[in-house]
Amino acid sequence: MEILLAPIVTEKASDASEMRKCYSFFVHPKANKIQIKKAVEKYYDVKVDKVRTLIYGAKHFTKFTKSGIQKGKTNYTKKAMVQLREGDEIDLYANV
């Protein structure tokens, strides 16, 4: 099971990383805080101070088409906000 799926690169996440050294990632929905902490420390070679997680539920939608009404839903996602110790930093744009 891959814990870290992708970093979140938005304006709000970039401001948090610059001001508070708090980085955001999409993570596996079944991962817990300890697994996330170990994965970030191993992959980026930094020390993690705090991990906060957010679970976004599935969104239900309805489409009206020529053939009739179609109902569906999106998958639920989990995000992790990882705060690093003083002096550590992650360069998300190094591999671009």
Per-residue pLDDT of the chain (96 residues; tens, 9 = 90+): 899 999 999 999 888 888 888 999 999 999 999 999 999 999 999 999 999 999 999 999 999 999 999 999 999 999 999 999 988 888 877 765
3-class DSSP state of 56: strand
Cα–Cα distance for residue pair 82/73, rounded to 1 Å: 29
φ/ψ bin of 3: left (φ > 0), alpha (ψ from -120 to 50), beta (otherwise): alpha
What's the token pair of residue 46? Answer: 């930094």
Query: Model-level pTM?
Result: 0.84
Hey, how many other C-beta atoms are within 10 angstroms of the C-beta on 84?
Answer: 21
- How far apart, in Å, are the Cα atoms of 19 and each of 12, 16, 37, 53? 11, 5, 20, 19
- How far apart, in Å, are the Cα atoms of 3 and each of 32, 35, 42, 80, 96? 9, 7, 11, 11, 21
